[in-house]
Chains A and B, each alone.
Chain A
Amino acid sequence: MNDKFRTDLNRQLAEIEWSAQDTEAVMRKIHSRRILPVRMALVLAAVLTVLLALGCAGYAEYNSGLLSRLFGSSQIRPEAADLLMSEPVSMSRNGITVTIIEYLYDGQTMHIAGEMRNDTGEALLCGMKPTMGDSGPGVFGLGGNGLVLIQPGETADGWVKLSEMNPIIEAANQWQVNILAVALKPNTELRPDVNDTDYYSTDRHYNTELTETVFEETLSFPMEKNLETRPSRTVPGTASICMEEYGYTIVMRKANFAAASSVIEFDLVPAEQADIMAYGDEGADGRGRLYRHYCIMIPDDNGEMSRLRTDGSFGWTRNKTRLGYHLSCGPLPEVPEQILLVPTDHENNPITDEAVTIPVIPSIFPF
């Protein structure tokens, strides 16, 4: 079985491959974590100080690491740049420095970039995550980037996107964001085999007998909803279409288009009370016919509908009465009066016959 099995599996996985871009990405991340020579660090610090002293808003707008990660350098929307908070929030204790470098909330999604520096003289496992605080509504923790081993004198950075917000925050105009930062020292006596790569696991180390917590602080900063940047949106329940072939109706739940994110959610509701079709119910050949991806089409300059390329993620939820679809992706370049939500075939081509037109209410209207 072995050789043929391996050959077949390799053939069927042929499209999953390591690319030169992956190599570049790894090397870039590694280099960004290396220690800066002291002289260079001093020069860099001086340059940054000058830039900050000049109050150069354009610097934050066009050179923000967070915005570049979100949109790429060429697609930064002015509204997003306006929302970006790039005055670092920082605290130090016992040789550990935690800094929230930039953060942005666009009315539905929060993005936070931060870093930790270790000047304790010994390697520590460090990590940060948003958490629920004591002082009023905070952001629910969603994990974060896990722990990373930071050598003495080194800095590690990371960012997190919070698309599932605490309902209290959704309704509030201002709230407190709390970031829990921890640094853990491996317990010398119980130090695991350093060859064991599970050594880096948050689950394994945090609050266990394997480590000693040497730093645990919550960094808080206030966040205010910018009333001028509410997401453009649709009205729930509108824009339904009956897919006669399957006996399902699409019913919109949410389509919000904010400065730094778009979220679309709808349900596929069956015409008759029956168990919702599960992924795979139709067997290997037909499975997933309902579980298709949907793309967004908007009018281009000539009034033709063109497909919007968005980086994002999507998924399905299922219960006894409905099949839910949700798409979370980047912002639309500009918000049109309507969009087309179009299912795609197995080759990711739009099936325009089944397109759903969604009217979009501009953000100037109240919630």
Chain B
Amino acid sequence: MKNSRMIADTHGSTLERMMTDYGDSIVRICYLFLKDRQLAQDAAQETFIKAWNALHTLRSGDTEKAWLIKIAVNTCKNMLRSRYFKMVDRSISTDDLPEPASVDPDTDDTVLKEVMALDDKYREVVILYYYQELSSDETAKVLGLPTATVRTRMKRARELLRTRLKGWYFDE
């Protein structure tokens, strides 16, 4: 009993550090997947609970961040797949309500909107590779896809963003 409590306490402090280090990243990834702030918070919390349950499976060679992101992505995908999610009213959050007409550079959310508007398969590689800076191999591992497929999707996603965000990152 004493041993198991010590292990639990160690896991608890590891988890608290993970939440401090990666909490923002995880909740933002969840938001980009689920498009709903409240659900994103639920999914992020669930991610860390699952991480705590599976902490003993984290191998020394694993990248902690990629491991957590994989849990988060699977949690979001499970929520998106569940019938419950489809029945719950979640189509639009208050954050998606109309923005002021004037565009303030500090509040302009064009990039976010265009990323959110991408098809799921392109959005997820953009989130993981470009936003979270995972390598293409790590991205492939998280998504359970061949690396070649990830590279193809990255190329296509980049082309789509090139059109939609012209003037932001693609001066032509």
**A residues neighboring B (CB under 8 Å):** 1-2, 4-6, 8-13, 15-18, 22-23, 25-27, 29-30, 34, 37, 141-144, 146, 149, 160, 163-164, 194-195, 197-203, 279, 284-289, 291-293, 313-317, 326-328, 344-346, 348
Question: B100-121 interface mask toward A, CB cutoff 8 Å, 1 = contact, 0 = none?
Answer: 1100001011111101000000
Q: Which residues of A contact B170 (CB under 8 A)?
A: 1
Q: List 17 A-B contacts (CB under 8 A).
A: A16-B40, A18-B26, A18-B27, A22-B27, A23-B19, A26-B45, A26-B49, A37-B1, A143-B83, A194-B54, A195-B54, A195-B67, A198-B144, A200-B74, A291-B96, A315-B91, A344-B97
Are A142 and B112 touching (Cβ within 8 A)? no
Main secondary structure of the interface of A (DSSP, over half): mixed
Are A284 and B113 touching (Cβ within 8 A)? yes
Report the minimum CB–CB distance from B33 to chain A (whole Å).
Answer: 12
A4 in contact with B169 given A26-B49, A146-B78 (CB within 8 Å):
yes
Main secondary structure of the interface of B (DSSP, over half): helix
Report the minimum CB–CB distance from B13 to chain A (whole Å).
Answer: 11
State the CA gap A286–B99 with chains docked (Å).
8
Q: Which residues of B contact A164 (CB under 8 A)?
A: 87
Are A29 and B49 touching (Cβ within 8 A)? yes
Q: Which residues of A contact B58 (CB under 8 A)?
A: 195
**B residues neighboring A (CB under 8 Å):** 1, 8, 12, 15-16, 19-20, 23-24, 26-28, 31-32, 37-38, 40-41, 44-45, 48-50, 52-54, 57-59, 62, 67, 70-71, 74-75, 78, 81-85, 87-92, 94-101, 106, 108-113, 115, 130-131, 133, 144, 158, 168-170
State the CA gap A287–B110 with chains docked (Å).
13
The one of B27, B92, B111 in contact with A315, judged by C-beta atoms closer than 8 angstroms, is B92
State the CA gap A144–B168 with chains docked (Å).
43
Excluding A197-B70, A317-B91, 17 further A-B contacts by CB distance (< 8 Å) are: A2-B133, A8-B111, A11-B106, A13-B112, A143-B84, A146-B78, A164-B87, A197-B50, A200-B78, A289-B98, A292-B97, A313-B88, A314-B92, A315-B89, A345-B98, A346-B98, A346-B100
State the CA gap A23–B83 with chains docked (Å).
28
State the CA gap A18–B38 with chains docked (Å).
12
* List of 6 A-B pairs having minimum Cβ-Cβ separation, nearest first: A18-B23, A143-B84, A315-B89, A315-B91, A12-B112, A1-B169
